[in-house]
């Protein structure tokens, strides 16, 4: 059986976050439909793709994410990672809304992880143990995107990937 | 009086109980041995916070983790906000860990605490230039841009400055200099300092300390040091307080000395 090394915990967090943002009507999917590619572009984008999507996301609220660090401790089954989400919007109330929503969703340690694990679209190769907010910054005018405001939310995520009896990824 | 000194003082009351009774009296090793046990462990605990090996290991463990996490944090911020933090990396290497122009340093150490500061390093790579083969290194790039200091550029070997500005080539008068008001762009001024304060005044530094695993090292070390040595476990009627104190010192040194 081929092991999928493309799977990454941050992508699973992103899927869950997007689903929750849409379900709670904080984002409207239809606003992010691209005629060029005939699909909805999820406005939670990795920092590496940010320049390519700047034009499409011009004036629209969106989130840019990146992984700060990743480490396995003595207990090598459990991975400890930090993810940074930078929220961009031209409207301060929209940033506050997303920030408060993420705070509500992700601050509850094992309860937040339980919600993630229960979300059906999360890969069954992962088991999340705890998620909590490591840092939130105030909303400030963005130096990167003119006219936008921005705020950062840093998540601390502990998870395991399912493994074979000899400890390799399953 | 600190608690470790109080503990030593209290434990010293056990010293007389560890000495054998007068000849002829009924000898009971239990009191002496129990006293020696307690005396030993009290000494280990009391001397722990003043033990140099423990202090060094404690500081090193925490500093090493912070020294990994803080630069990682700056790298991630720089990738998300290149205009704000490009200046603390070599040219066109923003967010790349091999090209950082900053480093953390410990400026003082006392007991279990230490103070940190950062240092902006000199750039070693040439300023990108596609128009000329001449190489110029803007060594103080990071510190000048961070401070938002204006710089004056004057011709050194050439008679005049020639550069492109807004798509046109500008020929400056002979010997004239130009002033760049904000060499890194206004967005970069004081941004590293801001990110540094954010990391160290918020929850991120606490996360880093937790991740250092110092609690595990402490628990394992203190567990080893508190294990009563064989000499004290042997049935005896007299124990030497001086020797027990030395045993406590040695146990701490062996538990917290050496490399991690």
- Residue whose entry in the numeric block shows the structure tokens 């090193």: B60
Q: Which residues of A touch B204 (CB under 8 A)?
A: 134-135, 154
- B21, pLDDT greater than 70: no
User: pLDDT tens digit string along B148-168?
Assistant: 999 998 888 888 888 888 888
User: pLDDT tens digit string along B223-254?
Assistant: 888 998 888 888 888 888 898 989 998 888 88
Residue stretches of chain A with pLDDT short of 70: 1
User: pLDDT tens digit string along B29-51?
Assistant: 788 888 888 899 998 988 887 88
DSSP per position, chain B: --HHHHHHHHHHTTGGGGSPPPTTSPP-HHHHHHHHHHHHHHHHHHHHTT-HHHHHHHHHHHHHHHHHHHHHHHHHHHHH-HHHHGGGBSTT-TT-GGGB-EEEEEEEEETTEEEEEEEEPPP-SBPP-SS-S---B-TTHHHHHHHT--EEE--SSSSS-EEEETTEEEEPPTT--EEES-TT-GGGTTHHHHHHHHHHHSSHHHHHHHHTTHHHHHHHHHHHHHSPPHHHHS--S---HHHHHHHHHHHHHHHH-S--
- Report pLDDT for B69: 95
Residues B63-77, mean pLDDT to the nearest whole number? 96
Contact B209/A at CB under 8 A = no
Confidence band for B260, pLDDT divided at 50, 70 and 90:
very low
- Report pLDDT for B26: 57
Q: Which residues of A touch B187 (CB under 8 A)?
A: 143-144
User: What's the whole-number average pLDDT of chain B?
Assistant: 87
Option in B75, B84, B202 nearest A135 (CB): B202
- Report pLDDT for B24: 53
- Report pLDDT for B47: 85
The dihedrals phi and psi of B37, each to the nearest 5 degrees, come to -55, -55
- Residue whose entry in the numeric block shows the structure tokens 């509500």: A104
B223 phi-psi bin (left φ>0, alpha ψ -120 to 50, beta other): alpha
User: pLDDT tens digit string along A84-104?
Assistant: 999 999 999 999 999 999 999
Q: How many CB pairs under 8 A join A and B?
A: 59
Option in A50, A80, A137 nearest B211 (CB): A80
Confidence band for B110, pLDDT divided at 50, 70 and 90:
confident
Confidence band for B186, pLDDT divided at 50, 70 and 90:
confident
pLDDT higher for A127 or B218? A127
Q: ipTM surpassing 0.85, yes or no?
A: yes
Pairing type for strands A62-72 and A44-46 reads parallel
From A69's Cα to the closest Cα of chain B, the distance in A is 6
pLDDT higher for B219 or B119? B119
Distance in angstroms (rounded) separating the CA atoms of residues B210 and B216: 10
Closest-CA residue to A143 (of B198, B86, B226): B86
What torsion do the CA atoms of A67, A71, A72, A73 make, to the nearest 10 degrees? -140
């Amino acid at each position: 059986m081929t092991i999928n090394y493309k799977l990454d915990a941050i992508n699973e967090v992103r899927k869950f976050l997007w689903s929750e943002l849409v379900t709670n009507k904080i984002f409207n999917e239809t606003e992010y439909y691209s005629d060029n590619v005939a699909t909805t572009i999820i406005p939670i984008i990795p920092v590496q793709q940010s320049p390519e999507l700047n034009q499409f996301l011009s004036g629209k609220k969106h989130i840019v994410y990146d992984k700060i660090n990743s480490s396995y401790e003595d207990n090598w089954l459990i991975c400890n990672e930090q993810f940074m989400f930078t929220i961009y919007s031209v409207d301060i109330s929209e940033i506050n809304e997303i920030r408060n929503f993420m705070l509500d969703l992700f601050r509850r340690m094992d309860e937040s992880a339980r919600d993630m694990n229960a979300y059906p679209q999360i890969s069954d190769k992962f088991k999340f143990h705890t998620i909590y907010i490591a840092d939130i910054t105030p909303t400030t005018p963005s130096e990167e995107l003119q006219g936008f405001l921005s705020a950062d939310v840093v998540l601390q995520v502990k998870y395991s990937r399912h493994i074979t009896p000899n400890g390799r990824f399953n | 009086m600190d608690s470790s000194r109080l503990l030593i003082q209290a434990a010293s009351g056990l010293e007389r109980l560890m000495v054998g009774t007068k000849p002829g009296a009924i000898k009971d090793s239990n009191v002496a041995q129990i006293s020696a046990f307690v005396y030993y462990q009290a000494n280990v605990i009391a001397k722990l916070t003043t033990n140099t090996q423990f202090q060094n290991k404690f500081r090193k463990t925490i500093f090493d983790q912070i020294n990994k996490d803080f630069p990682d944090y700056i790298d991630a911020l720089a990738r998300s906000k290149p205009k704000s933090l490009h200046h603390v990396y070599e040219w066109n290497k923003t967010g790349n860990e091999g090209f950082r122009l900053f480093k953390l340093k410990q400026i003082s150490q006392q007991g279990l605490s230490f103070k940190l500061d950062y240092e902006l390093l000199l750039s070693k790579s040439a300023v990108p230039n596609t128009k000329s083969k001449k190489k110029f290194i803007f060594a103080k790039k990071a510190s000048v841009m961070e401070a938002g200091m204006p710089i004056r550029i004057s011709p050194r070997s050439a008679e005049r400055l020639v550069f492109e500005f807004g798509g046109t080539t500008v020929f400056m008068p002979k010997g004239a200099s130009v002033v760049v008001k904000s060499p890194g762009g206004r967005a970069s001024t004081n941004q590293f300092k801001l990110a540094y304060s954010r990391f160290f005044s918020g929850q991120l530094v606490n996360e880093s300390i937790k991740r250092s695993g110092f609690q595990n090292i402490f628990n394992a070390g203190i567990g080893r040091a508190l294990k009563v040595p064989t000499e004290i476990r042997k049935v005896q009627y007299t124990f030497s307080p001086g020797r027990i104190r030395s045993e406590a010192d040695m146990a701490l040194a062996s538990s917290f000395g050496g490399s991690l």
